[in-house]
Amino acid sequence: MLTTDQCYQAVAGRDRRFDGMFFTAVRSTGIFCRPSCPARTPLRKNVDFYQTAAAATEAGFRACKRCRPDASPNSPEWDTRADVTARAMRLIQDGLVDRAGISGLASALGYSPRQLGRVLQSELGVGPLAIARTERIRTARTLVESTTLSMSEVAFAAGFSSIRQFNDTFRAVYSSTPRDLRNNAGARHGTQSITVRLAYRAPLDHTHLFRYLAVRAIPGVEDVTGDHYTRSLRLAHGPAVLTLAPGAGDYIECHLRLADSRDLGSAVARARRILDLDADPLAVRATLEEAGLSELIDRYPGIRSPGTGDPVELAIRTILGQQISVIAAQTHLKRLVSAHGQSLPEELRVGTVDRVFPTAAEIAEIPEEHWSLPRRRIDTLRVLSAHLADGSIDLGPGCDRTEVNDSLLAIPGIGPWSLGYIRMRALGDPDVLLSSDLGVKKAIDELNGPGTDMTDWAQQLERVRPWRSYVTHLMWAHHARPQASPAVPPATQSHRPTGTDAESPTDTPTDTATHSTANRKRRRQ
């Protein structure tokens, strides 16, 4: 946590890097702002700092109409940390409190409601209900400004229990009525089409990010070009389709088609995870520079560690793609989605995205003859799907990463590479180094010369904690760059089985050390 002096320095410098990490409350005006608010810098004696917008609101401050602190990026701390506070914040942002209440949130974390309240109150100065209320009001404001829903429909879709509570919260937070905000919102969209601007901390290398996602796109579920990413989602109240595209300034335009507007908050949270929009790229850069990797980070400024919109999908595709190329994995995934994916209603479809990835329960019941895979890999898929379906393994935003780690390793056929890839993309772990990955090894050889001692390299990268996932992506980007192998076209090079979606040669379904080329050919036959 920053000191109050550091916070005030950020406010005095209007430093956008700290937007969302803390909030500035000015006692003389009763307003709280982002650190980068363009208004005149308040006197130090009049300023308090809060770690969350909910805490500032509970203290009696209202949101600044000029800088919109409610639209700040989320703090990267909640993705970096794995303790109960961070897990609770991720679940609240995903809308669990609106679906299951405080008792459901506490149960998901293994705490009693009273214990959880004490933990959050002691660290954040506010309880889980107040944090959830802040998320609700953000969702409500988006619905007010972006749709033609009636105010009663907005209130209940955002999770409020009554119109009175909805109106009172609006006045307390924004010093304005919902009707006033709608009248000032400008152009609006229909119920099924909602547009949200997602703020991020610059820089953001969206070109590389979309290229990475395009290579791995599942036909029917995802559609990616150089300027947009579209995919279907399975949400609590029905399916949805989102489209992400670069917008003006430090924003990503998120276009949503929802079967039920109650899922707006959860859809936005997933969109942010997909593009890693809550990351702090300057903090990552500073750490990598200290570890001697300034030249590498200079080549790819703003690189992100992309997540996923469906952790079950990511886990299944990781196992399915072991020891085969990305193209071959896509063929299997396309067959799986075509045969077992849920068809989207016409009004939700966008371009070629017309299906939702099947559930874990559906995959667990698929007959063996459907799979053109080795028997052991089919067994791994079935066991993993069964555990995901019955909840014994939870890959959701509030999961305990250590517990998931042990549970996945206990499944035959899941080794260190698969585990690391699932942790990095499905669980959003920012500190995963896939040192056994073939693409990472080749990139290290290109940077340091053939025969680099991986042990020494791994020890050097200990200084990069907790950002080693970004090092992994930097290595992949370096190895896949067009000039790395002029004889091979970039698209072909990206589809080689480098270990990014094909299992590393050191981590096979039987977790043995090596396999010969002949053995791999026999398995494919």
For the packed helices 96-109 and 84-93, what is the interaxial angle rounded to 10 degrees? 160
For the question of residue 67 being annotated catalytic, the response is no
Distance between CA 216 and CA 494 in Å, rounded? Answer: 10
**Catalytic choice (7, 33, 37, 67):** 33
Closest to 170 in 3D by CA, of 190, 142, 189: 142
Closest to 506 in 3D by CA, of 374, 322, 328: 322
Do the Cβ atoms of 258 and 233 come closer than 8 Å?
no
Q: Which two tokens stand for residue 78?
A: 């909640």
Do the Cβ atoms of 240 and 254 come closer than 8 Å?
no
Distance between CA 121 and CA 216 in Å, rounded? Answer: 42
Distance between CA 89 and CA 398 in Å, rounded? Answer: 8
| Number of other residues whose CB lies within 10 A of the CB of residue 133 | 23
Residues 6+ apart with CB under 8 A from 48: 24, 25, 27, 59
For the question of residue 437 being annotated catalytic, the response is yes
**Catalytic choice (280, 437, 501, 507):** 437
Residue-level length of the chain: 525
DSSP state of 290: H
Residues 6+ apart with CB under 8 A from 100: 107, 108
Distance between CA 61 and CA 243 in Å, rounded? Answer: 34
Distance between CA 299 and CA 379 in Å, rounded? Answer: 42
Distance between CA 303 and CA 282 in Å, rounded? Answer: 11
Task: Write down the residue that tokens 């479809």 correspond to.
Answer: 349
Beta bridge partners of 231: 222, 242
Closest to 284 in 3D by CA, of 197, 212, 202, 207: 202
For 73, list phi and psi in degrees, rounded to 5.
-60, 155
Distance between CA 131 and CA 140 in Å, rounded? Answer: 14
Residues 6+ apart with CB under 8 A from 241: 230, 231, 232, 233, 256, 257, 344, 348, 349, 350, 353
Label the pairing between strands 31-33 and 62-63: parallel
Distance between CA 209 and CA 249 in Å, rounded? Answer: 17
Asked if the bond preceding 466 is cis, omega within 30° of 0, the reply is: yes
Phi-psi region of 290 (alpha: psi -120 to 50; beta: other; left: phi over 0): alpha
Q: Which residues are catalytic?
A: 33, 437
